[in-house]
């Protein structure tokens, strides 16, 4: 008797943050519960959802927002919630590790077990997004996590612009890719709107790797006082779920709170992925150039 195909329902949450941790965590919990009511098994909350996106400014006082991974109160609360609802929750947080700091995500399985940590690999540094002041480059490498419902890859925001990250997770067997995000307007250029570019790049990752992809972004205007005056970003949301050919399955707008849900047949997608031949016909022996910065000298 043939086994039933593995169906998984994924969700992307989208909401505006205040700068109060308890308020934001309560909002996240409310939307996780709403996603569960819609049948979601794996639920993605946006990047650094405990507060405002503080990286608009370089302020020593903002390091106080970081907490150690062991005993982190928000992770503990999400562990209890995951166990209660039987859902998987990647939890983004600002991590303090002795004198190092990371933009990290803990993967909570459906029984509340903490499956481990991923630390953001690519750290941006530009007007409004001055993350290099706060975060060390991640040292975990790209990872996949075997959850109750699927083997998942989770990377963070700026990681989503790099096809190498998506391919690394897919090669390790990721069946769905997840990207918690905080992105919006560019303080130095009112005319620059990256939302369509942002979405298309990740749709490409889904299609190139033949895996579904989930991206969760915040909304709302956030103003941070800097040494040069106030900096303002309007986060554009646009959270979405893409299918294994890059097709847009569910999408949010740029202003409204959202709970996006989509179901995928992982066994059917696996057959499509194997039949398409992009993994069979790979040529790793020809890709040594990817280990360089300038196309010729290998990075040591």
- Residues with a catalytic annotation lie at 47, 120, 157
18 within 8 A of 244, measured Cβ to Cβ:
no
The neighbour count for residue 214, using CB atoms within 10 Å, is 29
Contacts for 34 with CB less than 8 Å, ≥ 6 apart: 259
Task: Return the C-alpha torsion angle 209, 214, 220, 221, nearest 10.
Answer: -30
The helix or strand, by DSSP H or E, that contains position 95, with its residue range, turns out to be strand 89-97
Instruction: Give residue 124's Cα distance to chain centre.
Output: 15
Residue 206, Cβ density class (10 Å: 0-12 exposed, 13-18 middle, ≥19 buried): buried
Q: Is 23 left (phi over 0), alpha (psi -120 to 50) or beta?
A: alpha
What is the rounded CA–CA span in Å between residue 249 and residue 260?
9
């Amino acid at each position: 008797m043939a086994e039933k195909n593995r169906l998984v329902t994924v969700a992307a949450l989208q909401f505006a943050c205040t700068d109060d941790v308890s308020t934001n965590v309560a909002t996240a919990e409310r939307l996780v519960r709403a996603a569960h009511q819609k049948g979601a098994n794996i639920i993605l909350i946006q990047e650094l959802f405990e507060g405002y996106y503080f990286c608009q400014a370089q302020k020593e006082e903002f390091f106080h927002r970081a907490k150690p991974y062991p005993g982190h109160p928000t992770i503990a609360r999400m562990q209890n919630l995951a166990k209660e609802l039987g859902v998987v929750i990647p939890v983004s947080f600002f991590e303090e590790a002795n004198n190092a700091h990371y933009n990290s995500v803990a993967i909570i399985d459906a029984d509340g077990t903490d499956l481990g940590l991923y630390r953001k690999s690519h750290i941006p540094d530009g007007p409004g997004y001055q993350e290099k002041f706060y975060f060390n480059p991640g040292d975990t490498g790209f990872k996949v996590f075997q959850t109750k419902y699927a083997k998942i890859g989770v990377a963070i925001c700026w990681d989503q612009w790099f096809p190498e990250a998506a391919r690394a997770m897919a090669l390790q067997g990721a069946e769905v890719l997840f990207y918690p995000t905080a992105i919006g307007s560019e303080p130095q250029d009112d005319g620059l709107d990256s939302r369509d570019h942002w979405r298309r790049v990740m749709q490409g990752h889904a299609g190139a790797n033949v895996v579904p992809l989930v991206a969760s972004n915040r909304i709302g205007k956030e103003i941070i006082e800097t040494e040069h005056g106030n900096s303002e970003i309007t986060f554009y949301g646009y959270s979405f779920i893409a299918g294994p050919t890059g097709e847009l399955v569910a999408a949010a707008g740029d202003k409204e709170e959202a709970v996006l849900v989509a179901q995928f047949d992982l066994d059917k997608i696996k057959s499509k992925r194997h039949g398409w031949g992009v993994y069979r016909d790979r040529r790793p022996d020809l890709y040594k150039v990817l280990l360089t910065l300038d196309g010729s000298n290998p990075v040591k």
